[in-house]
Amino acid sequence: MKLMGSVFLLALAPLTLALENGLMRTPPMGWLAWERFRCNTDCKSDPHNCISEKLFMDMADRLATDGWRELGYVYVNIDDCWTAKERDATGHLVPDPERFPSGIKALADYVHARGLKLGIYADIGSYTCAGYPGTTLDRIEQDALTFAQWGVDMLKFDGCYSSGAMQAEGYPKMSKALNATGRPIAYSCSWPAYQGGLPPQVNYTLLANICNLWRNYGDIQDSWDSVLSIVEWFSVNQDVLQPVAGPGHWNDPDMLIIGNFGLSCEQSRSQMALWTIMAAPLFMSTDLRVISDSAKEILQNKLMIKINQDPLGIQGRKILQEKSRIEVFLRPLSHSASALVFFSRRTDMPYRYTTSLARLNFTQDFVYETQDVYTGQIISGLKAADNFTIVVNPSGVVMWYLYPTMHLDQPFSFMKQQPEDKKVHPFTL
């Protein structure tokens, strides 16, 4: 949501408020309303696209029916503008009675019946970013218990209309309150996005102890420029961001806008690859009822999702930036595998990029096999010193899943020496 808070340090809260919920051991996946549907509350003129229980039921149906759920896209997340304009007489948050006539508990039951999970939105300030009732410090325990009683599975906690002091007390307090409900509720914090300045102002050790994921940067918009600004910010600050990501606590560069209006097919493929290399949560914000086949193919790429969900949970890094405007990103994966992304910031024509694995710091001791994540093409017998050439389209990527198959000092296959559960095999899409 729009950032309206003030600068404050995260170091003011105690370290004893650990999250301890055991959730999100791999980056969460699902659907989130905000980027595509914003705060459209005009259900009379636009009943198909307004923020209402029908919209979330429709998306739950699509996730359950169109192959998304089986791939891991299980969260159906409400964002701002779901509440009535005032709390009820007892001070409880209540959904808008016209747009959510059945209530949030009924919506959660509907989502759960389809094997999915429901996320909801609140704000530590006096108001939400769109001007709906906020969750001030004196309401945190009450709202956490309400969400648990409704059967909510995830909370996104925003920071509009709040002071730095409110954030420093409120974000850890909500973590403790969610734990106290006894219901496992994943916790998404927007706290760092309100701190301003560079990441060193943020106590990421504390953040990882109280949140499952956190927004670091401004809202994504439906444009390639917006995607590029996020990638650049994450790359510039990767020395701070990369070490704190891992199972149960993730840097969140914001939603996937694939399937909307602002990205070409090449740019869509790039966003998916770059979010995957960053071990990012994969929350789509698009209309799944009318999504194109090409966008669906990108978002449902099984090898891409396998890489994103790698159990080691190591966030990738940009390791090389060429004068040709080709950038190379690397993410270590389990079982000695890796993911490589060759990303073009060029806008003129496809570029023939020649390099070697040795130049990308791969060991000379192994022979490697690579699989192109988008085409499925396999290259076998690749030694670290061997030069290879790939063609990267403007604003596009080539992404490889790469694994060692042989140790050069040994006359037999490296793979044969591995226990069966440690072997890496080519992936069939």
How far apart, in whole angstroms, are the C-alpha atoms of residue 296 and residue 288?
A: 9
Contact by Cβ (8 Å): 341, 399: yes
Same domain, 373 and 342: yes
Low-confidence winner among 9-23, 116-130, 218-232, 403-417 (lowest mean pLDDT) = 9-23
3-class DSSP assignment, residue 333: coil
Question: Would you call 351 helix, strand, or coil by DSSP?
Answer: strand
Query: 96 catalytic, yes or no?
Result: no
Instruction: Calculate helix-pair angle for 140-150, 104-113, nearest 10 degrees.
Output: 40
- Compute the distance between CA of residue 165 and CA of residue 248 in angstroms, rounded to an integer: 26
Q: What's the rounded Cα separation, in Å, for the pair 186 and 155?
A: 6
Quote the pTM value: 0.93
Q: Report pLDDT for 90.
A: 98
DSSP state of 271: H
Choosing from 308, 325, 359, the residue where a domain stops is: 308
- The verdict on residue 103 lying in a domain is yes
Indicate the SS3 state at residue 380: strand
Q: Stretch 83-93: mean pLDDT, rounded? A: 98
Token pair for 326 = 């080709």
Q: 250: part of which helix (H) or strand (E)?
A: strand 250-252
pLDDT recorded at residue 407:
86
Would residue 106 count as lying in a domain?
yes
* 365 is an active site residue: no
Q: Are residues 282 and 379 in the same domain?
A: no
Q: Is 339 part of any domain?
A: yes
Same domain for 208 and 341, yes or no, is no
Residue 264 in contact with residue 294, Cβ under 8 Å? Answer: no
> Residue 422 pLDDT more than 70?
no
Q: How many C-beta atoms lie closer than 10 Å to residue 351's C-beta? A: 18
Residue 14 has what pLDDT? Answer: 37
pLDDT given at position 10: 40
Kindly state whether residues 355 and 301 are assigned to the same domain: no
Alpha carbons 217 and 291: distance in angstroms, whole number: 27
- Residue 156's CATH number: 3.20.20.70
The continuous run of DSSP H or E covering 297 comes out as: helix 293-299
As a whole-number percent, the residues of the chain with pLDDT over 90 amount to 87
- Is residue 120, in this structure, part of any structural domain at all? yes
Nearest to 392 by CA among 329, 310, 319, 325: 325
Higher pLDDT, 10 or 348: 348
Copy the structure tokens of residue 282. Answer: 């994969």
The two tokens of residue 360 are 């990308």
Q: Does residue 385 belong to any structural domain of this protein?
A: yes
- Residue 367 pLDDT exceeds 80: yes
Are 370 and 382 in contact, with CB atoms under 8 Å apart?
A: yes
Residue type, 71: L
Same domain, residue pair 302 and 323: no
Give the residues across from 390 on adjacent strands. Answer: 353
**β-pairing, 397-407 with 326-332?**
unpaired
Same domain, residue pair 304 and 324: no
388 domain-assigned = yes
CA dihedral 132, 189, 261, 375 (to 10 degrees): -160
Confidence class for position 4, pLDDT limits 50, 70, 90? very low
Mean pLDDT for the chain overall: 93
**Own/partner pairs for 196-202, CB < 8 Å, 24+ apart?**
196/6, 196/7, 197/7, 198/237, 198/240, 199/237, 199/240, 199/241, 200/240, 201/7, 201/9, 201/10, 202/9, 202/10
Q: Give the CATH number, domain containing residue 372.
A: 2.60.40.1180
Rounded distance between C-alpha atoms, residue 72 and residue 76, angstroms: 12
Q: Residue 197 belongs to what domain range? A: 10-308
How does 201-231 read in b/e, with b if 16+ C-beta sit within 10 Å? ebbbebbbbbbbbbbbbebbebebebbbebb
Catalytic residue among 109, 219, 222, 365: 219
Same domain as 146, residue 286: yes
> Tell me, what amino acid is at 322?
E
Does 381 fall in a domain? yes
Claim to verify: residue 222 and residue 298 sit in the same structural domain:
yes
How does pLDDT run across 244-275, given as a tens digit for each residue? 999 999 999 999 999 999 999 999 999 999 99
Reading the block at residue 255, the tokens are: 């939603």
Q: How far apart (Å, rounded) are the C-alpha atoms in residues 27 and 250?
A: 7
Q: What are the φ/ψ torsions at residue 134 (nearest 5 degrees)?
A: -90, 175
Number of domains in the chain: 2
Task: State the number of CA atoms in the 13 A half-sphere of 429 facing the CB.
Answer: 18
CB 150 within 8 A of CB 108: yes
Phi/psi for 375 (5° steps) reads -95, -20
The domain boundary, picked from 277, 308, 339, lies at 308
Q: Confidence class of residue 420 from pLDDT cuts 50, 70 and 90? A: low
Q: How far apart are CA 183 and CA 105, in angstroms?
A: 14
Measured between alpha carbons, how far is 325 from 346 in angstroms, rounded to an integer? 6
Domain boundary at 280, 308, 336, which?
Answer: 308
Residue 428 resides in a domain: no
Per-residue pLDDT tens for 302-342? Answer: 999 999 999 999 999 999 999 999 999 999 999 999 999 99
Q: Of residues 96, 143, 158, 252, which has the active-site annotation? A: 158
Q: List pLDDT tens digits, range 33-84.
A: 999 999 999 999 999 999 999 999 999 999 999 999 999 999 999 999 999 9
169: pLDDT strictly greater than 70:
yes
Within 89-190, residue ranges assigned H as helices are 104-113, 140-150, 164-180
Cβ-proximal residues to 256 (8 Å cutoff; 6+ apart), any chain: 271, 272, 275, 282, 283, 284, 285, 286, 299
Does residue 222 sit in the same domain as residue 274? yes
Q: Are residues 273 and 342 in the same domain?
A: no
User: Do 379 and 278 fall into the same domain?
Assistant: no
Statement to judge: residues 179 and 283 lie in one domain: yes
Of 210, 146, 153, residue with least CA distance to 191: 210
